[in-house]
Amino acid sequence: MLAGYIIPWMLVLFWVFSGVALGAEVFMTSIEVITSKEKVRNVVIDGKAKKFHTRVWNPTVANLTLMALGSSAPEILLSIVEILKENFHAGELGPSTIVGSAAFNLMVITAVCLICLPEGEVRRIEQLSVFLTTSFYSVMAYVWVLIIVVVWTPEVITVTEGVLTIVFLVLLIIQAYMTDRYFTKSKLAQEYVTVVTDAGEVVDPEFAAKTLDDARTSGIVEPGTDTGRLASFLKPQSRAHYRRNVIKSMKSPRAPSTSVTSEADHAQAMADISKATAESMKATFSFRDPKADPEPDPEAAAAAPSPKATSTRFSRRSSSKSSPGLGEKSVTRVRPDAASVNGVICFKDEVVSVLESVGSVTLHVERRGGSEGEVQVAYTTKEQTATADADYVSQSGTLTFAPGEVEKQITIEIIDDDMYEKDEEFTVVLTEPTGGAVFDHKTDGESNAAICTVIIVNDDEATGKLGEVLAYVNMLNLDNLRLARANWGTQLREAVDIGEGASLFECILFVLMVPWRLLFALVPPPALWGGWPCFAASLMGIGFQVVLINDFASQMGCQMYIKKPVTAITFVALGTSLPDTFASMQAAREDKSADNSIGNVTGSNSVNVFFGLGLPWAMAAIYWKLVGADDEWKARYPTFVDEYPNGAFVVYSADLGFSVVVFTCCAITTLSVILVRRYWGDPPGELGGNRRHAFMHAGFLVSLWLLYITLSVLSTEKMITTF
């Protein structure tokens, strides 16, 4: 009879968690749009005025603010919603869910990432200084909770304590930014990689890195060879990218596979290629003083004659030297001996202006300083103030330069809408050069890309003063509004369209998810106004779902005769953390570093406390400070009336305090295991390596999580004595 009540509630709760995962996809998409926003800097290089596009958001700041909010939105909103529903009295679900989710994230997700890599593959945290900073704050955050709940003003949160909790988040963001900006010194910071075959043949560094990585994985070369992580380290994906991909794969179980061979056949083929290539290839690492080996002048390199291939070596490094006039840290530099043979890829003109009625614009891409061998470069258009598919036709592809070929063209269609607008612009970005080609660090994009800005000059006449005024209001981009309306309609149609070939089971799942699909189809498209309307609307949608989680979890706990804190640290914490688990697994497999998979967990856990507890607790403390104690408050907290006659925000410490103590001990142990693996692993690295050791460490971390759950449950059920 009991199961007849419990199972339906569990299914309903699972249904809501599935909806939260769907909302998280929309939310993460808006965050990616927001954090990809660029700003333009006008600089003078060699007497010429140039435009440089740089990201507005620092990656570390984005991870600790919007990204952390995106991955932890259910837990944070649950804490806030519970305070509001309880009329500014402390609840039990919110704080316990935050602590329980932190335990699952740190211990279980790390354990899963340890064992998800193939035999021999290793992932290391590249931004170690940032990781250590967030790790310190993640432990300190829970120690701080213990101080304000148990020690400072026992079982009462004052306004000062609530505000200080939020201030710690600001300090964390500032310190992490300063660490990332000025003190991060990756192993790649002054590392040159030269790749040349025994016969003197030059090999593309990215191809060599991948080949040597495959060879290392197959046991052909020494496991300590670290070249495999060079290429992908230069342009890592964001955590939002992996979270969104996981939800997409959950929504599309029938996605076709592009593989035409079995995994075993592919692995064997790669092993054969790696063995053949690695035997004729050698990679040397040397550390040099950048002052003694200054950066080359790309223009001089371009004008220099091409030497013979037998004397050529590829070298790649990451330098902290700033580009002229920018003050920005450049990610990669390439020495001139590589560029002189295979060429510097750049646009003939970095800024091109065309009339809106021109029909199309042709951009010229040049290969300067050398033309030996075949090289390729990817290109794509990117919105700035112009709107894709409303002002111009978006386009992407690959340019292939044959040996001796020095110029390619990209033609982009310009759309004439016959409406008066201000001048708008978009960019065309070249990335991912192969075959040894490089970019000019004195052009827009520096050494990471080549960027051309296309300005669409309006040649329509205003139909009236009102149209002219509206055209010059930045927020009223008429093309953006028209495209958003079209995308909105597409979202609604796709929300109720299951497509063809769906099985009966898939049809049932689709019907169950239709309410959530419709809810988030009503959210404004991410492209509208920089993603902020989508951000706010999807956050409200998740907030509505959190209200349901609060009610359903409480009802399920009642049916199972378990208390709210136990429900929070088990079912609720597990449900809110599962999407992050799969996202971290994907990041561990696809990235060549561990930053996105486990490096961001500590930052997210810190934000959960400083914002997820700090904000609602500060709100409640301020409320009771202003309102004062009423009869209901005095009846609810009779033991606090004498000490706090004017009222206060009360948070009982028994279960929460003990849970925090246990978590803190387990967290310190988990972080110690991670660091031990980094320096004394087999081979050294936080993730992967020796499978036997990885499974042993993963099992130990999972046992820590089970220990935390067990002790917390025993404390809540009064089976053990706590403070």
243 falls in which pLDDT band (50, 70, 90)? Answer: low
Question: What does 275-317 look like in DSSP terms, one character per residue?
Answer: HHHHHTEEEEEEE--TTTSPPP-HHHHHHSPPPPGGG--EEEE
Query: What are 140-183's pLDDT values in tens digits?
Result: 999 999 999 988 999 999 999 999 999 999 999 999 888 887 77
What single DSSP character describes residue 461? P
Backbone angles phi, psi at 217, to 5 degrees: -60, -35
Q: Which residues pair with 154 in a beta bridge?
A: none
Q: Is the pLDDT of residue 113 over 70?
A: yes
How many Cβ atoms from other residues are within 10 Å of residue 153's Cβ?
17
Give residue 619's pLDDT.
94
What single DSSP character describes residue 688? E
Give residue 109's pLDDT.
92
Task: Report the 3 state secondary structure along 316-339.
Answer: EECCCCECCCCCCECCCEECHHHH
Query: What are 14-42's pLDDT values in tens digits?
Result: 888 888 888 877 888 888 888 888 777 77
Mean pLDDT score, 653-677: 89
Q: Is the pLDDT of residue 186 over 60?
A: no
Domains and CATH numbers, the chain: 2-186+489-716 (1.20.1420.30), 191-253+262-340 (no CATH)
Q: Is the pLDDT of residue 597 over 90?
A: no
Task: Report the 3 state secondary structure along 166-205.
Answer: HHHHHHHHHHHHHHHHHHCCCCCCCEEEEEEECCCCECCH
Among 313-327, 493-507, 662-676, whose mean pLDDT is lowest? 313-327
How many Cβ atoms from other residues are within 10 Å of residue 719's Cβ?
9
CA distance 693 to 677: 10
**Distance from the first to the final alpha carbon of the chain:** 37
Query: What are 274-286's pLDDT values in tens digits?
Result: 444 444 333 333 3
CA distance 587 to 612: 25
State how far the alpha carbon of 231 is from the alpha carbons of 54, 434, 591, in Å: 21, 11, 10
Q: Is the pLDDT of residue 658 over 80?
A: yes
Give residue 722's pLDDT.
66
The pLDDT mean for the chain works out to 75
CB of 608 closer than 8 Å to CB of 99? no
Q: Tell me, yes or no, if the pTM score tops 0.85.
A: no
List the structure tokens of 593.
């570093």
Give residue 300's pLDDT.
41
Give residue 290's pLDDT.
36
Backbone angles phi, psi at 430, to 5 degrees: -100, 130
Highest mean pLDDT among 5-14, 325-334, 357-366: 357-366
Query: What are 46-55's pLDDT values in tens digits?
Result: 667 777 777 7
State how far the alpha carbon of 568 is from the alpha carbons of 284, 363, 395, 661, 700, in Å: 53, 57, 47, 17, 23
Q: Is the pLDDT of residue 704 over 90?
A: yes
Give residue 468's pLDDT.
52
Sign of CA dihedral 210, 216, 220, 221: positive
246 falls in which pLDDT band (50, 70, 90)? Answer: low
CA distance 187 to 520: 43
What are the helix and strand counts (H, E) for the chain? 24, 19
Give residue 461's pLDDT.
56
CB of 321 closer than 8 Å to CB of 330? yes
Give residue 4's pLDDT.
60
Q: Which one is predicted more confidently, 558 or 164?
A: 164
CA distance 711 to 548: 28
How many Cβ atoms from other residues are within 10 Å of residue 341's Cβ?
23
In sequence order, the 6+-apart residues with CB closer than 8 A to the CB of 93 are 78, 82, 550, 553, 554, 564, 565, 567, 568, 572
Give residue 295's pLDDT.
40
Among 102-116, 239-253, 557-571, 667-681, whose mean pLDDT is lowest? 239-253
CA distance 411 to 361: 6
Q: Which one is predicted more confidently, 261 or 668?
A: 668
How many Cβ atoms from other residues are within 10 Å of residue 440's Cβ?
23
pLDDT > 90 fraction of the chain, expressed in percent and rounded: 22
List the structure tokens of 72.
């932890």
CA distance 518 to 239: 26
Query: What are 470-482's pLDDT values in tens digits?
Result: 444 444 455 555 6
Give residue 723's pLDDT.
56
List the structure tokens of 83.
């305070």
Q: Which residues pair with 38 in a beta bridge?
A: 55
Give residue 203's pLDDT.
46
- Nearest Cα to 251, choosing from 12, 494, 11? 494
Q: Is the pLDDT of residue 711 over 70?
A: yes
Give residue 111's pLDDT.
93
Give residue 229's pLDDT.
39
Query: What are 508-525's pLDDT values in tens digits?
Result: 888 888 899 889 888 888
What single DSSP character describes residue 506? H
CA distance 706 to 723: 21
Q: Which one is predicted more confidently, 188 or 422?
A: 422
CA distance 298 to 303: 9
Burial class (CB in 10 A: 0-12, 13-18, 19+), 142: buried
What single DSSP character describes residue 236? P
